[in-house]
Amino acid sequence: MFIKTTGFDTSELERFRELQHTCFQIQDKMASELTEGVTEKEVTRELFDRYRAAGAGNFFHLPVALFGERTGLPGEWGIGKFYPRRVELKKGDAVILDGAPLFDGFMVDTSHSFSFGDNPAHDEMMGHLLRQRVSIKDAVNRGESFKEIAETVARECAELGYEGVHEKHPGAVLGHRAVRVRGPQGWRLRGSDGASLSWFLMKVGQSKFFAKQSPLWNRSPASDHAPTDGLWMVEPHFSNGVFGAKWEEILVIENGQARWLDDDLPHVQKWAA
Cα angle, residue 225 at apex, residues 222 and 226 outer, rounded to 5°: 145
Q: What digits encode the pLDDT tens for the residues 42-91?
A: 999 999 999 999 999 999 999 999 999 999 999 999 999 999 999 999 99
| Separation of alpha carbons 242 and 110, rounded Å | 23
Could you read off the pLDDT of 233-271 as tens digits, one per residue?
A: 999 999 999 999 999 999 999 999 999 999 999 999 887
* DSSP conformational letter for 88: B
The total of other beta-carbon atoms located within 10 Å of residue 235's CB is 20
Q: Percent of the chain having pLDDT more than 70? A: 96
Percent of the chain surpassing pLDDT 90: 86
Q: Could you give all domains of the chain from N- to C-terminal order, each with its CATH number?
A: 2-271 (3.90.230.10)
| Per-residue model confidence (pLDDT) at position 219 | 97
Q: What is the pTM of this model?
A: 0.95
pLDDT, tens digit, 9 for 90 and up, residues 137-166: 999 999 999 999 999 999 999 999 999 999
